[in-house]
Copies of this chain bind each other. A is one copy, B any other.
Amino acid sequence: MRKQDITIYDVAREAKVSMATVSRVVNGNTNVRKDTRDRVMKVINRLHYQPNAVAQGLASKRTTTVGLIVPDLTNLYFAELSKGIDDIALLYKYNIIITSIENRLMREDQAIQGLLNKQVDGVIYMSDTLPEEAVEAFKRTDTPVVLAGTKDSHSEFPSVAIDYKKADTEALNLLYNDGRKNLALVLGNPDTVVNVQNRIPAYKKFMSDHNLGEGHIYSNVKDHSDGYNLLSQLDQDGVDGVIVTNDVTAVGILNSAIDAGKKVPEELEIITASATQIASVVRPALTAIRQPLYDIGAVAMRMLTKLMNNEEVPETQIELPYEILKKQSTTNE
């Protein structure tokens, strides 16, 4: 496979020690006399020896590799989560195998099984939907899993996220205080755990608490173009304030309004429930629930390192603080 294939055996021979000793110095085992350690190190450097991680993995049953399951890399929401994960993984010397499941050729449970076959030491799961087969796949294994930026319906798995209910309620309240009474909620997939258990109930409760009627929930609005096309419906329904879960979708609505000569925020207020770089870069900039995506990823990965080392993890259901960033798509009165 490699041009030069220096093995631990070559080093042992050259340094006149056993492979066991070489293994010890490679792994930083302290039970090696300083001068033998130095001698071995010298040979390692001279021969440019590099341990074969696959062989190490087979022998030690640890691959120092974690698997990431993510719907779509080109969605900045996941990219920013991944960055937090990646930085902490680097810190703890773990490699990352990424499996993208947007492609319909790959189901969630297949993705999980594939990672387990690769003997990853842990998995971070970022998809907003966790099908039953995926739950089963996780339960069949001892490999630890952490959910990042999402939750499962029974809180069976460790997770790092924010309090979506509270955040949405606060956002709705902002619109309400700006005088908006015809509030709408725009969702992508309406069947995700977060939507079913948090966003939709929070919305319904808010509407009923404030006697605002049934309101309007729009589902399956997933990208810029869906958002763009939704505007006419919003107009028709007389919506004057809207929470949009995905910020690219929110930008679609915004651009549609701009192109139609509809004033944002005067005639329509928009809040995106997940701010990525895109939300801050458009004009008018979008008021947003800022989830600490990088931190969510980082904390999730940190928790996973503990789980992989069988360390004590006192709290496995973590909620990080969010922030409501008031920008130009709300009047903020």
Pairwise interchain contact A118-B3, C-beta atoms closer than 8 A? no
Q: Render A246-264 as a binary contact track against B, CB cut-off 8 A, 1 for contact.
A: 0010010001001000000
Known: A86-B73, A90-B103, A283-B255. A50 touches B143 (CB 8 A): no
**B2, B61, B62, B280: the one within 8 Å of A141 (CB):** B2
Residues of B within 8 A of A72 (CB): 83
Pairwise interchain contact A281-B74, C-beta atoms closer than 8 A? no
Q: From residue 41 to 84 of chain A, which have CB atoms closer than 8 A to chain B?
A: 48, 50-55, 57-58, 61-63, 65, 72-74, 76, 79-80, 82-83
Q: Give the size category of A's interface with B.
A: 35 or more
**B4, B83, B258: the one within 8 Å of A73 (CB):** B83
Pairwise interchain contact B118-A53, C-beta atoms closer than 8 A? yes
**B53, B91, B258: the one within 8 Å of A283 (CB):** B258
Measured in the bound complex, the distance between the Cα atoms of B2 and A246 in whole Å is: 37
**Can you list 11 residue pairs at the A/B interface with Cβ under 8 Å?**
A65-B118, A73-B73, A74-B79, A74-B83, A76-B76, A76-B79, A83-B100, A90-B106, A98-B98, A248-B277, A251-B281
Residues of A whose CB lies within 8 Å of any CB of B are: 1-4, 48, 50-55, 57-58, 61-63, 65, 72-74, 76, 79-80, 82-83, 86-87, 90-91, 95-100, 103, 105-106, 113-114, 116-119, 140-143, 224, 248, 251, 255, 258, 277-278, 280-283
